[in-house]
Amino acid sequence: MREACQKIRNYMLNENDAAPLRRQVKRFALFVLVLSACFGRPLYALVHYSLNNEFFSYIPLIPVISLYLIWLKKPQLPRQAGTSWTGAVVAALGGFALLLGWNWVVHSGWKPRAEDYLTLMTSSFLFFLVAGCLAFFWGAICRIIAFPIVFLVFMIPMPGAMLDWVTSFFQYTSAVTAVGFLTVARMPVFRDDLTLHLPNFSIVVAPECSGIHSTMVLLITAVLAGHMFLRSGWKRVLLIVFVIPLAILRNGFRIFVISELCVRVSHDMINSPIHRKGGPIFFALSLIPFFGLLFLLRKSELHDPKTVDIAVKV
């Protein structure tokens, strides 16, 4: 009987300790609703744009993943939450600065692309969201959920100029890599900018051949995998950086395969499903070396006493 009373008393104490945090969560939820209503138009435009654009189709999944990561960390969250008005004000000023910058750009006569508008508006929204986190959950809670909050950066679309540069980078590097594969396979090839001249056939490395969408998905996967499975900072960075050469090799290999098929089988292979819809196949192939590296990095940490100790503390 005494033990039962003690359990009830402990439960009531825990409930009383958790009450302030629950109130903060409710207030923050109300803040997010009001903030989302204020940014309703750009957020709707962001969702609509991402659903109709192959490259940005991953964006609606980002907040879902972020919420899931916070839910996983729920047992680690302390009962009390602090407040950092200084940090909240600084973050809010950043959001206001982006809004003012957008108004100045529009009134100056410059006509930005859709990506530029969404980049500024989404960035401003996230600044205000961070301000709310600092105002409602500063302290240990913010430190614990820092990664899920920072992960929301992937909601921000690339500005137009940056997207063009990245696409061009992967186009040229993929073309050069494909030439390397073809040379090793002893296929006569001459590269003229982004055009590969083969025997009785030429293939152009178009922007669609850059594989930028699958590269972005692989980059997000690397960030998540590094956070969840690796403890060493430099190993996380290595896994993320590995995505770039891996993406170039994957794109080059895809161009190589299509070129070989067009020359050795039929020119009509350029219109075959392996060209038009074969992206997921080559993406799956790129996951083999990716997870192989992740396995090796993870295994090295399990045999390192320092990282094991850190993992236990975390």
pLDDT by position in tens, the chain (length 314): 555 444 444 443 344 445 667 788 888 899 999 999 999 999 999 999 998 888 888 999 999 999 999 999 888 877 766 677 888 899 999 999 999 988 887 788 777 788 889 999 999 999 999 999 988 887 778 888 899 999 999 999 999 889 999 999 999 999 999 999 999 999 999 999 999 999 888 989 988 878 888 999 999 999 999 999 999 999 999 999 999 999 999 999 999 999 999 888 888 888 887 777 878 889 999 999 999 999 999 998 886 655 544 443 44
Q: How many other CB atoms are found less than 10 A from the CB of residue 179? A: 19
Q: Strand, coil or helix: what is 231?
A: coil
DSSP E strands, the chain: 190-192, 195-198, 201-204
pLDDT for the residue numbered 305: 56
**Residue 172's pLDDT is what?**
94
Measured distance CA(309)–CA(27) in Å, rounded: 37
**Dihedral sign, CA of 171, 113, 107, 48?**
negative
> What pLDDT sits at residue 7?
46
Cα 220 to Cα 55, 103, 172, 216, 223: the distances in Å are 13, 32, 23, 6, 5
Cα–Cα distance list, 149 to 40, 62, 119, 202, 298 (Å): 20, 10, 17, 47, 25
What residues contact residue 4 under an 8 Å CB cut-off, 6+ apart?
Answer: none
